[in-house]
Every structure is written in structure tokens, then in C-alpha cells.
Amino acid sequence: MGYCTVTDVRVLTGVSESMLSDSEIESLIAFSDAQIDDDLGGLFQEPVPERVRYLSALLTAIKVYSRPDFRGGFSVGGFSVSGQHVEECLERWMGEVRRIYAYYGKVVREAPSGLRRV
């Protein structure tokens, strides 16, 4: 089981299942969790600390919003997210990632591994 859930990621991003399937998000969660294990130097056991759950959701949300099909903004139904809002979210989430990494005594250089933004 991942450190966070698909629902955690959907809450952060507002991305519906019609835009990105649960299995696609689960794959991104697996990448984020491997990144956490690599970057923070260990596997977290159940129950996973809330801070790690949030970090996993943040890293996954960043991966979602960094996709080319979401980067410029998106709409679903009556819900719309502008490209500017996407960029603001990415900056805010990266700030949170830096804060959590600092809590564990790690420094994020530019972006955590696997998150280098283009």
C-alpha cells in the first residue's frame, strides 16, 4: 500500500477520474513513494506518519500538474483551473515539500529527484 491514497491526490489536484484514472495515479504514487524512500533514506512502516502521507500526496500532485496535458490549465465539467493557478500550486507545493524535507534533515536542491521541472 502507498504512503498516500488516490483520494489524497484528487483532493489536492481536483483531477477527476475521467481525466486521470486511479491506476495512473497509483503508478505516480508508487514513483513518489520510491522517491521518498530514496531521498529520506528508509522505508516508513504502518501507520505511516501523516507528514509522510502528505509528502507522498504532494509529490504525486506535482507529478500530475507537471504533465503537459495539465500544465497549461484544464477544465472538467463546470470546474476550470488556469495555467497560472497550476503554476501557483506547483510553487506552493514545492515549498511544502522543502519544509517536510527540512524536517527530516534533508535539503531539496532545485527539486527532489524525479521532479526536475521543464
- Tell me: the pLDDT tens digits for 90-116? 999 999 999 999 999 988 765 544 554
Q: How do the domains of the chain map onto residue ranges?
A: 6-103
Assign 20 a pLDDT band (cuts: 50, 70, 90). very high
Residue 67, pLDDT score? 94
Give me the half-sphere count of Cα atoms (radius 13 Å) on the Cβ side of residue 24.
12
Q: Which residue has the cell 503537459?
A: 68
Rounded distance between C-alpha atoms, residue 55 and residue 34, angstroms? 12
Cis peptide bond upstream of 47, omega within 30: yes
The mean pLDDT value of the chain amounts to 89
Rounded distance between C-alpha atoms, residue 89 and residue 98, angstroms? 14
Q: pTM of the predicted model, to two decimals?
A: 0.88
Rounded distance between C-alpha atoms, residue 9 and residue 80, angstroms? 17
- Tell me: the pLDDT tens digits for 45-56? 889 999 999 999
